Amino acid sequence: MATPIGNSADITLRALALLQRADLVACEDSRVTGPFLKRYGIQASLLPYHEHNAAKVRPQLLQRLRDGAVVALVSDAGTPLINDPGYKLVRDCIAQGIHVTALPGPSAVLTALSLSGLPSDRFLYAGFPPPKAGARAEWLAELKAVRASLVLLESPQRLADSLAAMADILGGAREAAVARELTKKFEEVRRGSLAELAAFYAGHGPPKGEVTLVIGPPPDQPEATAGDLDAALTAAMRQVPLRQAVDEVSAALGLPRKAVYARALDLRDRGQ
Ligand code: SAM
């Protein structure tokens, strides 16, 4: 069942009723869920179920369920299964014929998408980018051609670097929104192109609180051809220094900066 992502009033009547009658609440961290339940006067038996103990605890949970216990699965915040091992429990319940239902409610993913102002008719939730630059670049390259808005989670400390990589690989001109502290007092959505957002966070440092990122779909334009690239680079390099030309052209054509840079060096060496 979903629980609040910041504003403790975002809990449904149905969720409170189920938490009252559950025999067991499987939670990520009892230090988070305990105080939350206390706030609503609910005394429940809590069992931590998270990434690091999931394989060990899941058989116990399945046994309790087979014995007829009512088990509520919650995460620290938002909708379980969105970035936690909950799906493995649901999958095993289905395989074992154990009744499962879902109590919907808050999720940072849909809340950010709703507030982003970006197309919401088609979106891909992609979770957290890999923290290491090389793996992140490959991961972004796979997402580049997806014709949908992208919803990503990111830590505030890595946000500026991630945005720079996104501007480089997905194209600096792609529209995006950084949604911070959703449903909380200091809720804020900063909208702009990936290049603008990357520059903003590089200059201002990590934002306070939690962030979710939404990136609009790639522009509806045919892939730039090698001829388009050469023409754009040649024109830009006549006006501005090579690096600036590369930045401008990769953003305008939505091409990876690395590839545009290599081509620019080629053209320069051939004296074009
Ligand atoms: N299950 C959760 C959901 O459905 O929203 C997502 C859990 S994930 C482990 C935690 C990440 O969600 C945070 O690092 C952040 O990226 C995002 N997040 C959670 N609460 C948020 C909030 N109030 N505002 C913005 N992002 C949030």
Residue 122: DSSP 8-state: S
> Of 82, 245, 87, nearest to 151 (Cα)?
82
Q: Domain 108-215 carries which CATH code?
A: 3.30.950.10
Close Cβ partners of 176 (under 8 Å, ≥ 6 residues apart): 118, 163, 166, 191, 192, 193, 194, 197, 213, 214, 215, 216
Residue 222 has pLDDT above 70, yes or no: no
**Calpha distance 13→228 (Å, rounded):** 58
**Calpha distance 237→262 (Å, rounded):** 14
Residue whose CA is closest, atom 9 of ligand 1?
A: 83
pLDDT at position 272, please? Answer: 63
Q: What average pLDDT score do residues 7-33 get?
A: 96
Q: Is 182 in the pocket of ligand 1 (CB under 6 A)?
A: yes
Q: What is the average pLDDT value for the chain, to the nearest integer?
A: 95
Domain 13-95, CATH homologous superfamily name and number: Tetrapyrrole methylase, N-terminal domain (3.40.1010.10)
Which ligand 1 atom is the nearest neighbour of the CA of 154? Answer: 16
Residue 268 has pLDDT above 70, yes or no: yes
Tell me which of 29, 79, 82, 83 to substitute to probe ligand 1's pocket, judged by most ligand atoms within 8 Å of the beta carbon: 83
Q: How far is the CA of 73 from the centre of ligand 1 (A)?
A: 17
H-run or E-run covering 246: helix 242-253
Q: Tokens 């930045």 belong to which residue?
A: 247
H-run or E-run covering 163: helix 159-170
Residues in the chain: 272
Q: Where are the domains of the chain?
A: 13-95, 108-215, 226-269
